Structure 1
Amino acid sequence: MTFTETLRKENQDVYEAIFNHSFVQGIGKGSVPKEALAHYIKADYEYLNAFMYIYGIAISKSNNRDDISFFNNQIDFVLNSEIHPHNNFCEQIGVGYAELQGYPLPPTADHYVKHMMYHAHMGSLGEVIAALLPCPWTYLEIGQELMKTYQPDEDHPFYPWISFYADERVAETTMKMRYMLDKLAADASPAELEKIKSAFRKSCQLELSFWEMAFTSEVWPVGDYVKV
């Protein structure tokens, strides 16, 4: 069993909770509250901006051109391709994509971004990948699970979203990141492996919390922040 296979097995409980979350199941059933979709897009737009920055930090920690090229391509993917599932949600609520950009991160998304930034700035490349990997990996499996369970056709309101994340491109990204992490883990110390496992587990937990944040339209308890 590879290192990432072990990670996946150890986090089966979180993956199951994600698959069964009301927001995720609502995508499969074709029915998610409009306010939840809008809240998701507002947060995910800023989250993905941070994701691209962290890919940039991963480039700075890479020691070969293949890895640099991969992370560079991933920035392009997020910037130019991952807008399509967002647009699918926007179409369902009748709101323009630009109208949902530039909002402060809700508490859970803010915590998630800072968790990844911490490992990006303070940790090894293995920690960076471990913190990033649950995002594409859980979305890939969500897409696959929803395809299998609900068998949506092109008339399904969220078919573009589901098919996007079940696509081979997301699978290739996940496998490449897993391969990179497996290689790094093979040379890591026991202490480093624990940091990698912790980063991965927390990101899995925060993926679950992100869905809950969107579904409940989570906000800061006393406003976002005060501009000065």
Structure 2
Amino acid sequence: MRFTEILRKENDDLFQLIFNHPFVDGIGKGDVPKEALTHYIKADYEYLNAFMHVYGLAIAKSSAREDIAYFNDQIGFVLNSEIHPHNNFCEQIGVSYEELQGYPLPPTADHYVKHMLYHAHTGNLGEILGALLPCPWTYLEIGKELVEKYRPDTAHPFNEWIQFYADQEVEQVTDKLRARLDEVAAEASDKERTRMKDAFRKSCQLELAFWEMAYTCEQWPAHEAVIK
């Protein structure tokens, strides 16, 4: 069994919890509170900025040109393609994308970013891949799950979002990350594979927590306080 197949099996509990989360299921039903969509976009915009920084750190730790080219391509994907699902949400809430950019991260998103940066700074390439993989992988499976469950058509308010993540392009991103992690894991020690598993599981936990953060409009306890 491939290393990433083991990861998927060991973390199926979290994948199922993500599929059944009210925000995710609400996308399928076409009914998500406006405030939750707004909170999600604000946080995800900054999260994806950090995601690109992690790709940059992965480039710095890559010796193979193929890895450098791949991570560089993924920065381009985030910059040029992942704006489309965000714009779908913005259209539904009647707010421009630009208005929702530049906000501080809520606690869960802040923790997720620092989790990825920790592994990017202190870990090897396998750990970085393990920390990065749950984001595209869970979104790919969310997209496919919602297509299968709700069969959205062009009249569905979130059809563009669902189809984007169920699309072949996101599947290719996921498959390439999986294949490279499998290669790295095949040459890693047991201790290194354990660290990869830990990075992957925590990212899965934080993917679930990110949806909850958006749905509940999570804020810092004293978010309105002014620090002098």
In the TM superposition, residue 81 of structure 1 has moved relative to its aligned partner by 0.7
The corresponding residue for 1:85 is 85
Aligned residue number for residue 201 of structure 1: 201
Q: Distance in 2 between matches of 1:83 and 1:224?
A: 29
Q: Which amino acid aligns with 2:188?
A: A
**Percent of aligned pairs with the same amino acid:** 70
TM-score by length of 2: 0.98
**Structure 2 Cα separation of the partners of residues 225 and 21 of structure 1:** 31
The aligned residue for residue 41 of structure 2 is 41
| Counterpart residue number, 2:159 | 159
Is 1:67 paired with 2:31? no
Question: Unaligned regions of 5+ residues in structure 2, if any?
Answer: none
Q: Which residue of 2 aligns with 1:52?
A: 52
Provide the alpha-carbon RMSD of the alignment.
Answer: 0.9
Conservation of the 8 A alpha-carbon contact between 1:136 and 1:173: yes
Query: Aligned partners of 2:53, 2:190: CA distance in 1, in Å?
Result: 28
CA distance in 1, matches of 2:97, 2:224: 21
Query: Matched residues in 2 for 1:90 and 1:175: separation?
Result: 29
Say whether the 8 Å CA contact 1:104–1:224 is kept in structure 2. no
**Ranges of 4+ aligned residues in structure 1 off by more than 2 Å:** 224-228
CA distance, structure 2, for counterparts of residue 139 and residue 226 of structure 1: 36
Are 1:170 and 2:181 counterparts? no
**Structure 1 unaligned regions, length at least 5:** none
- 1:136-147 equivalences in 2 (<5 Å): 136-147=136-147
2:96 matched residue in structure 1: 96
Q: Distance in 2 between matches of 1:4 and 1:10?
A: 10
Partner of 1:150: 150
**Separation of aligned partners in 2, 1:216 and 1:134:** 22
Q: 1:189 to 1:51 in 2, by over 3 A?
A: same
**Which letter does structure 2 place at the counterpart of 1:205?**
Q
For residues 25-40 of structure 1, what are the structure 2 equivalents within 5 Å?
25-40=25-40
Work out the CA distance in 2 between the residues paired with 1:143 and 1:5.
19
- AA partner of residue 37 (structure 2): L
Q: How far, CA to CA, are the matches of 1:227 and 1:72 in structure 2?
A: 38
Alignment size in residue pairs: 228
Please state how far the C-alpha of 1:226 moved relative to its aligned partner: 4.5
> In structure 2, what residue type is equivalent to 1:126?
G
Q: Indicate if the aligned counterparts of 1:142 and 1:165 stay in contact, CA closer than 8 A.
A: yes
